[in-house]
Amino acid sequence: MYVVKSQNEPYKGIIYAKSGTGKTNQAASSQDHPQMKNVLFANVEGGLITVAYRGDIWAEDIKHAPQLEELHDKLANGDPKYKEVRTLVIDSGTALQERNIEDIVRRQAEIHRRRYGKRSDFIPRSLNDVWQEDWGESTTELSRIFRMCYDLPMNVILTCLPRYTYGKAAQGEQAQPIEVSPGLTPKLRDAVGGYFDFVWYMYKDAQGTQRHLLTEERGVYRAKTRCIPFAEYLGPVIDVPLYGNMPEIYDMFNGILSGKLKMDDKRRRYLAERFGSDLEIDEEDDEDEPDTEEDVEDEEDEEDEEEDEEEEEGTPETNDQPQRIRPAAAAPSGAAAAPDAVRRDRERPPAQSRDARPAR
């Protein structure tokens, strides 16, 4: 038995946002804090050109989920090449699950060929043919690996694209999102979001000039901040300067935990004047059309990988040395203000029903 105390607790958070919002830059700004450097990117997306100008970011390319597990083992076991790493950034979880699904389908297609290839009525399995069990296998594997990374004794940041879930619209009306959350399968999203301390949504304002982090759930947007005093001190929205402000966030987090930083009347007045009692997210809008009813039905299939019951129509239930690749500007003030219509950045391959496929 022990008394829970805090001394320089590592930051463990998810930042999800549309492509081009600045989540990679925000994560890279961790390099500007002495207790967060050096930063190592597990580069899945291949989009690190956005931080190449810095010249002080390490990266290791990850093409398959087992490679991330191998990187975890090196970090956890004190590999000399990684001993100076204090922050791991997985960029991004959405891209890693897409690659993982491709690997699983490819593997299962080969198993299917070996098992049934000599039959006269053999039909090869298409690599575009994703079954419910494939989503379930991916969820199980990535949940385990992300949990292992979360347990590392260092700062861990997982970036994701957003997943927009739409309800059915009345005839002649445009479908509206009923949930915006990290772009993972629903079960993986819930598992990973459960053990990470922070799940924050990053967005630009309506003018597209100022970035913000939503730190608590608002309307259809999923977000959370563990540690009530820290959540109260932050407020519902954080302004994010062009080059990111992870050092400031890290200092606030550990300042609250250590008792050196406390909510005072000045901070309360600032938050009350800025946000009042209500907050709307006035986000830069997209011009894409919302998901069709068929897209909504495809999303429902992902949640049934462990069940054999029939699909129901309706609203879905809310997816050698590492390579080396400036200080943050002050954040402008002003209240951030959910868009009238938001869109899903990426679509997953549709899952096929159990009745429409040959046995494995």
Quick check: 53 pLDDT over 80? Answer: yes
Residue 278 pLDDT: 53
Mean pLDDT confidence for 248-277: 84
For residue 297, pLDDT over 50 is answered with no
Q: What angle do CA 21, 27, 29 make, to 5 degrees?
A: 105
User: What is the model's pLDDT at position 309?
Assistant: 46
**Of 329, 326, 298, 327, whose CA–CA distance to 311 is shortest?**
298
**Least confident window among 20-29, 280-289, 338-347:** 338-347
Helices marked H in 202-308 — which ranges? 228-234, 246-258, 265-275, 293-301
In this prediction the pTM is 0.74
Q: What is the pLDDT of residue 283?
A: 62
* pLDDT beyond 50 at 25: yes
Question: Of 300 and 112, which is predicted with more confidence?
Answer: 112
How many other C-beta atoms lie within 10 A of the C-beta of residue 331?
16
- Band of pLDDT at residue 304, cut at 50, 70 and 90: low
Query: Residue length, the chain?
Result: 360
Given a cut of 70, is residue 343 above it in pLDDT? Answer: no
**What is the number of helices (H) and of strands (E) in the chain?**
9, 14
Confidence at residue 312, expressed as pLDDT on a 0 to 100 scale: 45
Say yes or no to pLDDT of 33 above 60.
Answer: yes
**In the 8-state DSSP scheme, what is residue 328?**
P
- For residue 167 the two structure tokens come to 């309800």
Classify residue 15 by its DSSP letter.
Answer: E
Residue with tokens 């299939």: 301
Split at pLDDT 50, 70, 90, the class of 301 is low
Q: Could you read off the pLDDT of 200-229 as tens digits, one per residue?
A: 999 998 887 889 999 999 889 999 999 888
What local confidence, expressed as pLDDT, does residue 314 receive? 45
Rounded to an integer, the average pLDDT of 178-207 is: 91
Give residue 281's pLDDT. Answer: 57
* Choice among 19-28, 178-187, 232-241, 336-345 with the minimum mean pLDDT: 336-345
pLDDT, position 7: 67
**How much is the pLDDT for 148?**
95
User: pLDDT at position 284, please?
Assistant: 63
pLDDT-above-90 percentage for the chain? 43
pLDDT computed for residue 9 by the predictor:
84
pLDDT tens-digit map of 62-92: 999 999 999 999 999 989 999 999 999 999 8
Strand segments (E) across the chain: 12-16, 39-43, 58-61, 87-91, 130-131, 155-160, 162-166, 177-182, 198-204, 211-214, 224-225, 237-240, 323-324, 351-352
Average pLDDT for 167-193? 87
Q: Say yes or no to pLDDT of 150 above 70.
A: yes
Q: What is the mean pLDDT of the chain?
A: 79
| Res. 27 pLDDT band, cuts 50 70 90 | very high
User: Alpha helices of 40-185 — where are they, by DSSP H?
Assistant: 65-76, 93-116, 132-150
Segment (H or E) for 191: helix 186-195
Residue 12, pLDDT > 80, answer yes
CA distances from 69 to 142, 153, 160, 165, 352 (A): 10, 15, 18, 30, 29
pLDDT score of 261: 84
Structure token pair of residue 276: 């009042």
Q: Is 172 left (phi over 0), alpha (psi -120 to 50) or beta?
A: left
User: Is residue 341 exposed (0-12), middle (13-18) or buried (19+ Cβ within 10 Å)?
Assistant: middle
